[in-house]
Amino acid sequence: MAEAMTQHAAPDAERVEALALERVRALKPYVPGLQPAPGEGWLKLNTNEWPYPPSPRVAEAIAAEVEQLPYYPQPTSLRLREAIAAAEGLQGPDWVLAGNGSDDCLNLLLRAFCDARAAAGSLEPTYGLYAVLAAIQGTPFHTVPLPESLELPVATLAALPCRLLFVPHPHAPLGRVWSLDALQSLAERFSGILVIDEAYIAFAGPDASARQLLERHPRLVITRTFSKSHGLAGLRVGFCLAHPALIGLLDRVRESYNLDRLAQAGARAALEDTAYYAPLTQRIVASRERFCQGLDALGWAYAPTGANFVFAEPPGASPERAKQLYEALAAERVLVRHFPRSALTSKGLRMSVGTEGAMEQLLDRLSTWTQTHA
């Protein structure tokens, strides 16, 4: 019986493949950063996760929710959305959509606004998932190169023939914080939906967010996540903020139970515990500044960053040298990220800001490598 099944497996697999949509057969899926198993001794600085535990209130809230698991969750995540609206000083929950991670929000935006004739776009380089989500639904994806000056190319972005434009703020993977003037000018000039992806905004200082532009711009969407700033990447909670009419459109194409009970309860508890998160956020920012000073001392160059990561190049930078360094670090169980496909990123590494101890270890390794590979 088992043998008979294996004999049939190969031809059936081919037929299944042939039945798939052409764009699915051609799809290059998103490649997430490696996730080695805990306890294998890796210094993991490759996916910009929060390096501390989440607030202890998250565990309490999740434990208290367990007895409700026989029942479906609130389909609209209403209480979480009310808490987010209050925290953001918005009029009510109809300004907020909760997502299964902010990746879910990005997908819903494409689902609501884009198809084969309505394109999407972003900078180059940018967060790699945008193009993959566009390809999944056969949406053309256009990009504008980020100039070496790292100034936001407002006029060229605004002129892209796109229905939907994604701008990470701070920029991923370089960390640049855009001026609010530049973002506002883009919001005014671009005629489609402008998505400002604020996955890393918690580390950019108190006044950096495009939140203050929201009421005046009905075609502006801000996406956020609990993954990078609340230690909840594993819980999958993100959200977007926009005018109620736009939120209503996204709500139409949302899976009806996109956030489970544990996620809704855990995220709400995290949001309320600002006393826990604020000082740890400050610690991460302080570690980032110390790490940058360390890089200065080694003669490395780095992009100005308002995120919880640093993009940096060693002296004598080249794509080959960056690859060598990436591999040397990986051989010592230090995991960072190298993006070889874009000219602006091929010569350096993107390193997440971890705990104080992790950053000291990383600087030690970089120092040794820099001295032995002059």
Ligand X SMILES: *Cc1c(COP(=O)(O)O)cnc(C)c1O
- Residue nearest to ligand X as judged by C-beta position: 101
Instruction: Give the shortest CB-199-to-ligand X separation in angstroms.
Output: 4
Number of amino acids touching ligand X (CB under 6 A): 13
| Alpha-carbon span 339 to 265, nearest angstrom | 36
Using rule CB under 6 A, residue 311 touches ligand X: no
Asked whether the beta carbons of 90 and 323 are under 8 A apart, the reply is no
Which range, of 53-61, 95-103, 293-301, 315-323, touches ligand X by CB under 6 A? 95-103
Tokens of 2: 């088992």
- Sign of the CA dihedral with 104 first, then 52, 34, and 45 last: positive
As to burial, measured by CB atoms within 10 angstroms (0-12 exposed, 13-18 middle, 19+ buried), residue 162 is buried
Using rule CB under 6 A, residue 127 touches ligand X: yes
Q: Give the 3-state secondary structure of residue 255.
A: coil
Total number of residues shown for the chain: 374
Closest CB to ligand X among 163 and 228?
A: 228
Angle at CA 308, nearest 5°, toward 306 and 312? Answer: 80
Which range, of 67-75, 222-230, 241-249, 357-365, touches ligand X by CB under 6 A? 222-230
Tokens of 225: 């996540």
Tokens of 275: 């006393």
Closest CB to ligand X among 238 and 354?
A: 238
- What is the footprint of ligand X within residues 16-35 (CB under 6 A)? none
Using rule CB under 6 A, residue 49 touches ligand X: no
Closest CB to ligand X among 100 and 346?
A: 100
Q: Using DSSP, how many helices (H) and how many strands (E) does the chain show?
A: 13, 12
Instruction: Give the shortest CB-26-to-ligand X separation in angstroms.
Output: 24
Instruction: Give the shortest CB-101-to-ligand X separation in angstroms.
Output: 3
- What is the footprint of ligand X within residues 164-203 (CB under 6 A)? 168, 172, 197, 199
Residues that bind ligand X (CB under 6 A): 101-103, 127, 168, 172, 197, 199, 225, 227-228, 233, 238
